[in-house]
Structure 1
Amino acid sequence: MQSLLNDNMVLLTLFGAFAILVLTAFVVSTYFNKIKHSKADGVLTDDSWDGIKEFKNDLPIGWAASFLCVIIWGLWYIFVGYPLNAYSQIGEYNREVDNHNNQFQSKWASLSQSELTTMGDNIFQVQCSQCHGFDKTGINGKAADLSVWGRVDHIVKVILEGSEGMNYTGVSMIPIEMSKDNARDVANFVMNSLSEAKIPASADSIARGKELYLNNCVACHGEDGKGLMPGFAPDLTTYGTHKFLQEVLKRGKNGHIGKMPSFEYAKFSEFQEKALNDFILSDN
């Protein structure tokens, strides 16, 4: 009982209940007295129903005061009191997750590259392998083949086959009619010149890819690859990095056979996202 009385919300609730009881008792007793002692006199309205008229009574002061107090309390409750400044289970859960992630990140911040990839492998097997397979190949087309995701080959595949998209306002990307060699040139330009991944490629291929990109891709992705406008198309400058993976996990992914849901509920830390991205890009 003592612990309950130390909770501000419990005290506020008890106070509100007591105030309501007192107010109710006062109003009931007031009107009982009026019923006993009031007389049928006063100014009548002009309206009549079968010879029956009603009195022009002023708004009861007690009712008006109670109504005003309820409005004031409601505004306080919404903007000052609960839930903005009070305890909630959701808030407690989010704080616990944030504290755990901070402790986790500081504990494992000095992992080697192989250890980081192993961590990403463990996350992948728990969260992703059900659809993408233990070997990342997508279980015979059930889901995207992540063994080529984040690489030049995947961009070539998207150019030639299109993509259902990640719920951007530009909707899905349709296939672009060009040869596979030209698609590879575009992919080389994107991964070398636009993406932070900076994957090496020949200068000739990059130059051809830039010209093809400007003729076929800028309408959605813009010249700088960041998208014509925010939220319209994927930011290609992050493709192949954990930042692009963050967007996939946040938005979910439409596929040709179904939809991958958002993984925001999992509350991955950025460190875990880097580990998962490293495993996907690894040859393991």
Structure 2
Amino acid sequence: MKSMVIGGIILIIALMAGTYYVAGDAFSFGEDYINDLTMLAGLAIIGITVFVALKYVNQIKNDTASGELAEEKWDGIGEFKNQLPTGWALAFIGTIVWGMWYWTVGYPTNGFSQIGQWNEETLDYNSKFESKWQNPDAATLNAMGESIFLVQCAPCHGVDANGIDGKAQNLTKRLTKESVIYTVKNGANNFKTQYPAGMPPMMLTDDKDINEVAEYVAGGFVGTAPESFGVCAGCHGPDGNGMAYVAPSLKTYEDSLVASVLDNGKKANIGQMPSFKGRLNETQYNALASYIRSLGE
């Protein structure tokens, strides 16, 4: 045992010397008590670890099993009715107490957080923004919407909103024939807030009827409506101007429609648009809708 203790002391000295060799430049003994405490903590951890390991190694080598055997035997191996070690039990209870403190009072729930500070500043800025632009006029909305469009929408829809050769929706038009046909055949059930019922697929099943309706709607409702448009008029209205909380207007980009698409994304005949929920506030939604409407005008 004496040789093991001597070996343990030598190991501690070697580990501390290695620690100081690697991180010694960061320590100035006597000048910064934090550094001093850090080195003392390192010495304590290494010392305790080494001597605890030596204790159990010595027990493995020299101790003999004793005590009362339990009646149960698993695979022929008996178990002693030993009491739970006091140190282990106290450490277990202490860990539970420390965990409760950590999650209720201690760091990080009650400490400074850069992310928390950033969130607070962002919420404060958004509150000031919404207060400042609570009732903007049409010109202000359009100017704000254009700025938002160029940053958030132009990468897919193009700076002039023409859809970049069919890679995204052409926003200078409310609907194209192809998009109407796709919606009739596949439905549009992603409008989860403003239009909770959505639109089921295949309200029209005959290809001739679908093409007539698509040409009429995409053509701007010019001329006499085909008879098959009556199926659509039940929700969108006979003039295509839509009904609140039932179906959007087929003629213009309403605020509620733009908000629904931005919140939920949209799958159409040319691909999938992701959700922008959380990126913009209500004023910015309305500004973007106002600017998109002005493109058609």
Give the TM bin, normalised by the shorter chain. Answer: 0.5 to 0.7
The answer to whether the aligner puts 1:65 opposite 2:90 as a matched pair is: yes
* C-alpha distance in 1 between matches for 2:189 and 2:280: 22
1:185-229 CA-partner distances (Å, limit 9, x unpaired) = 34335965622xxxxxxxxxxxxxxxxxxxxxxxxxxxx62xxxx
2:190 aligned residue:
166
Q: Partner letter of residue 292 of structure 2?
A: I
2:140 aligned residue:
115
* C-alpha distance in 2 between matches for 1:28 and 1:68: 23
* C-alpha distance in 1 between matches for 2:121 and 2:242: 41
User: What's the Cα RMSD here?
Assistant: 4.7
The answer to whether the aligner puts 1:252 opposite 2:265 as a matched pair is: yes
2:203 aligned residue:
176
Q: Which has the larger radius of gyration?
A: 2
The DSSP-based 3-state class of the residue aligned with 2:237 is helix
Query: How far apart are 1:60 and its partner, in Å?
Result: 0.9
**Residues 110 and 54 (structure 1), Cα distance of their counterparts in 2 relative to 1, 3 Å cut:** closer
Query: How far apart are 1:101 and its partner, in Å?
Result: 1.7
Query: TM-score, normalized by length of structure 2?
Result: 0.56
**Residues 55 and 269 (structure 1), Cα distance of their counterparts in 2 relative to 1, 3 Å cut:** same
Query: How far apart are 1:244 and its partner, in Å?
Result: 3.6
2:233 aligned residue:
185
1:167-202 CA-partner distances (Å, limit 9, x unpaired) = 86999853432552316634335965622xxxxxxx
1:74 aligned residue:
99
Matched-pair contact (CA < 8 Å) for 2:178–2:269: no
Query: How far apart are 1:243 and its partner, in Å?
Result: 3.8
**Residues 162 and 42 (structure 1), Cα distance of their counterparts in 2 relative to 1, 3 Å cut:** closer
Matched-pair contact (CA < 8 Å) for 1:162–1:174: yes
* C-alpha distance in 2 between matches for 1:254 and 1:48: 61
Query: How far apart are 1:156 and its partner, in Å?
Result: 6.1
The answer to whether the aligner puts 1:147 opposite 2:196 as a matched pair is: no
Query: TM-score, normalized by length of structure 1?
Result: 0.58
* C-alpha distance in 1 between matches for 2:286 and 2:178: 19
* C-alpha distance in 2 between matches for 1:76 and 1:27: 29
Matched-pair contact (CA < 8 Å) for 1:249–1:264: yes
Q: Partner letter of residue 267 of structure 2?
A: N
1:12-31 matches, within 5 Å, as 25=48
1:138 aligned residue:
163
1:1-284 matches, within 5 Å, as 25=48, 32=55, 35=59, 41-45=66-70, 47=73, 55-78=80-103, 81-109=106-134, 111-149=136-174, 160=184, 162-163=186-187, 166=190, 173-177=200-204, 178=209, 179-180=212-213, 181=225, 182=229, 185-186=233-234, 187-188=236-237, 194-195=243-244, 225=246, 240-264=253-277, 267-282=279-294, 283=296
Structure 1 portions without partners, runs of 5+ = 1-13, 196-223, 226-234
Matched-pair contact (CA < 8 Å) for 2:191–2:261: no
Query: How far apart are 1:40 and its partner, in Å?
Result: 5.3
Q: Percent identity?
A: 33
* C-alpha distance in 1 between matches for 2:74 and 2:109: 51
Query: How far apart are 1:56 and its partner, in Å?
Result: 2.7
* C-alpha distance in 1 between matches for 2:241 and 2:110: 49
Q: Partner letter of residue 272 of structure 1?
A: Q
Matched-pair contact (CA < 8 Å) for 1:165–1:173: yes
Report how many aligned residue pairs link the two structures: 225
Structure 2 portions without partners, runs of 5+ = 1-36, 214-224
* C-alpha distance in 2 between matches for 1:112 and 1:48: 82
* C-alpha distance in 2 between matches for 1:156 and 1:190: 16
1:204 aligned residue:
none
